[in-house]
Amino acid sequence: VGGIYVDDQQQVQQQIPGLGDIPYLGWLFKNQVTKNNKKELLIFITPRIIANSLENDN
């Protein structure tokens, strides 16, 4: 059993062009979102015994 775990945090800011840059009033025209992304990859390996056909023929 093995795997990889990734935890990523991303901040995105959206604003109305021009209006979002106004001092003291720009926050009225901005939106900031924080996104948390979690990804997990698990790898499972199952061993199997394969009979050797050359030994069975003799």
d(CA 12, CA 31): 8
Cβ atoms of 29 and 20 closer than 8 Å: yes
pLDDT band at 57 (very low <50, low <70, confident <90, very high): low
**Backbone φ and ψ of 41, nearest 5°:** -120, 120
Interior/surface letters 25-55, b for 16+ CB within 10 angstroms, e for the rest = eeeeeeeeeeeeeeeeeeeeeeeeeeeeeee
pLDDT tens digits, 37-50: 999 999 999 888 88
| CB within 8 Å of 4: residues ≥ 6 apart | 40, 41
Tens-place pLDDT, residues 2-33: 889 899 999 999 999 999 889 999 989 999 99
